Amino acid sequence: ASPSLYRQLGGQPGVEAIVHDFLIRMADDARLVGFFAHTNIDHLADSLGDQLCEVSGGPCHYQGPPMDRVHQHMGLTDDDFYAMIGHLNKALMAQGVPAGARQRVIGIHLAAHEDVMRLARPAH
Ligand code: HEM
């Protein structure tokens, strides 16, 4: 990631607006909102903002647990994962992020697929 991706997201105010828009879309999705029933959403917004800032080359550092631990035992399917990606994509569009920057952010998140999902899948 280069500083210019962070700039194209609108810097810190842009990152915060994208996270806010994204979380509203997640909350409006009846299939996904239940995963967040016991989540402190303000803390989540802060963590997601730090992470998006960091991976886009901004001056932040995500301090939470590793992605496999965070999502361990949630019972997430690949469909849940890609539904989340869809909401992120819509949030980036709604916030006016240029297409090239949007595709880079989506690519970064797609690349995290195995990290996020490794311990997250439903027990069988
Ligand atoms: C690329 C995909 C994903 C990334 C990068 C990601 C990132 C994160 C981050 C940074 C946190 C905050 C961790 C903390 O500060 O403790 C988090 C928490 C969480 N994520 Fe994800 N996530 C992804 C996919 C998903 C999906 C698909 C779902 C479910 C639909 C999900 C559900 C949750 C929930 C419920 C929490 C809150 C956990 C808690 O309350 O402790 N995540 N995620």
Would you kindly state where each structural domain of the chain is located, as residue ranges?
Answer: 3-117
Radius of gyration of the chain from its Cα atoms, rounded to whole angstroms: 14
Distance, CA 74 to ligand 1 centroid (Å)? 10
DSSP 6-50: HHHTTHHHHHHHHHHHHHHHHHT-TTTGGGGTT--HHHHHHHHHH
With a 6 Å cutoff on the Cβ, whether 85 touches ligand 1 is: no
Predicted confidence (pLDDT) at residue 1 exceeds the cutoff of 70? no
Distance, CA 96 to ligand 1 centroid (Å)? 24
State the pLDDT at residue 37. 98
What percentage of the chain carries pLDDT values higher than 90? 97
With a 6 Å cutoff on the Cβ, whether 60 touches ligand 1 is: no
What's the pTM? Answer: 0.94
Give the span between the Cα atoms of 55 and 37, in whole angstroms.
27
At the second CATH level, the architecture of 3-117 is Orthogonal Bundle (1.10)
State the average pLDDT over residues 104-116.
Answer: 98
DSSP 54-123: HHTT-S----S--HHHHTTTS---HHHHHHHHHHHHHHHHHTT--HHHHHHHHHHHHHTHHHHHTTTSPP
